[in-house]
Amino acid sequence: MSIQQPPDHGATTFESPVSSTGAATVSNGAQSKKQPPPEKPSDVRRRSHIILAFWLIVLCLGLPIWWRTTTIYRADLPVQEMLDWADGKACRPVFPLRISIQANALQEQEAQNLLRLTQHALDDLNDFSGHHLRLQLAPPAATENHDSESVLTIRLVPGDTTTAKFDPHEPMLDITYPPNAIPSPTSSSSSLATYVAGQLRSTFAEEQATISHLLSTNAIPSEHRPQGLSPDVSESLSKRTTRSVKYAPTYHLTFSLFTSGPLPSSWDIDGAINEYMKPVLDVLSPIHNFTIDTQVQLYAAPGVHSQVLNKEDLSSFINAAEWPLSPSIGGAPTINFIVFVGNQTIAAPSQGPGEGDDAPGSASHSWLIPQWGTVYLLSLPDDTTRLSSEALKQPLLTFTSHLLSLTGTPQSGSLPLRLSTLARIRSADLLLRASSTLGSLARLALALPSISIPSRVADGVSKTMHHLRLACETLGGPEGLAHARIAEAEAERAFFEKSMVGQLYFPDEHKIAVYMPLLGPVAVPLVMGLLNELKAWRKRRREAAEQGAGKKKE
Partner 1 sequence: MDGAKVTPGRTAGLYVGAAVLRLAIFTLLPGLPDLLTGRVEISTPVTSFKRLQEGLFLYNHNVSPYDGGVYHQAPLFLPLFSLLPSFASLPIFTYLLYIAVDLLSASALWKIADSGEAGSSALFTSSRREKRWSGFVIAAVFLFNPFTVATCIGRSTSVFTTCAILHAIAKAVAGAPLGAMVALSFASYLSMYPLLLLPPLVLLCYDRQRPERATKSSLQFAGICASIVAGVVAILFQMSYFITGSWEFLPSTYGVQLTLSDLAPNVGLWWYFFIEMFDSFRSFFLAVFWLHLSSYVGGLTVRIRRQPLVVMTLLLGIFAIFKPYPSISDTSLFLALVPLYRHVFPLMRYTFVSAAVIMYASFLGPAFYYLWIYAGSGNANFFYAITLVWGLGKSLLVCDLMFAVLRDEWEVERPEMAGKEIRQI
Q: Which positions lie near partner 1, rule CB under 8 A?
A: 1-3, 5, 7, 11, 13-25, 36, 46, 49-50, 53-54, 56-58, 61-62, 65-66, 69-70, 452, 499, 502-503, 506, 514, 518-519, 522
Nearer to partner 1 by Cβ, of 60 and 308: the residue is: 60
* CA–CA distance, 404 with 522 (Å, rounded to integer): 66
| Sheet of strand 163-166, all strands in order from the earlier edge strand to the far edge | 131-137, 95-102, 152-158, 172-177, 163-166
* CA–CA distance, 209 with 205 (Å, rounded to integer): 6
Nearer to partner 1 by Cβ, of 219 and 522: the residue is: 522
Residue 258 CA neighbour count, 13 Å, CB half: 25
Nearer to partner 1 by Cβ, of 44 and 346: the residue is: 44
3-state secondary structure 521-543: HHHHHHHHHHHHHHHHHHHHHHH
Nearer to partner 1 by Cβ, of 54 and 251: the residue is: 54
Give the nearest distance from C-beta 529 to partner 1 in angstroms: 10
* CA–CA distance, 462 with 455 (Å, rounded to integer): 11
Nearer to partner 1 by Cβ, of 8 and 383: the residue is: 8
Give the nearest distance from C-beta 51 to partner 1 in angstroms: 8
Give the nearest distance from C-beta 49 to partner 1 in angstroms: 5
Residue among 328, 353, 339 at smallest CA distance from 266: 339
Give the nearest distance from C-beta 441 to partner 1 in angstroms: 19
Nearer to partner 1 by Cβ, of 37 and 271: the residue is: 37
Give the nearest distance from C-beta 530 to partner 1 in angstroms: 13
Give the nearest distance from C-beta 328 to partner 1 in angstroms: 27
DSSP secondary structure string for all residues of 444-475: HHHH-TTS-B-HHHHHHHHHHHHHHHHHHHTT
Look at strands 250-259 and 289-297 and give their pairing. parallel
Q: What residue spans of 71-184 are helical by DSSP H?
A: 79-86, 108-125
Give the nearest distance from C-beta 426 to partner 1 in angstroms: 37
* CA–CA distance, 351 with 288 (Å, rounded to integer): 30
- Contacts from 411-417 at CB under 8 Å and sequence distance 24+? 411/206, 411/240, 412/203, 412/205, 412/206, 413/166, 413/203, 413/206, 414/166, 414/167, 414/168, 414/171, 415/168, 415/169, 416/169, 416/170, 416/171, 417/151, 417/152, 417/166, 417/171, 417/203
Q: List, in sequence order, every residue forming a beta bridge with 157; answer none if it has no partner.
A: 176
Nearer to partner 1 by Cβ, of 62 and 286: the residue is: 62
Nearer to partner 1 by Cβ, of 32 and 80: the residue is: 32
Amino acid at 383: D
Give the nearest distance from C-beta 22 to partner 1 in angstroms: 4
3-state secondary structure 296-318: EECCCCCCCCCCEECHHHHHCCC
Nearer to partner 1 by Cβ, of 42 and 186: the residue is: 42
Nearer to partner 1 by Cβ, of 53 and 308: the residue is: 53
Nearer to partner 1 by Cβ, of 15 and 207: the residue is: 15
Give the nearest distance from C-beta 31 to partner 1 in angstroms: 17
Give the nearest distance from C-beta 52 to partner 1 in angstroms: 8
* CA–CA distance, 343 with 168 (Å, rounded to integer): 35
Q: Is residue 243 packed enough to be buried (19+ CB in 10 Å), middle (13-18) or exposed (0-12)? A: middle
Give the nearest distance from C-beta 275 to partner 1 in angstroms: 48
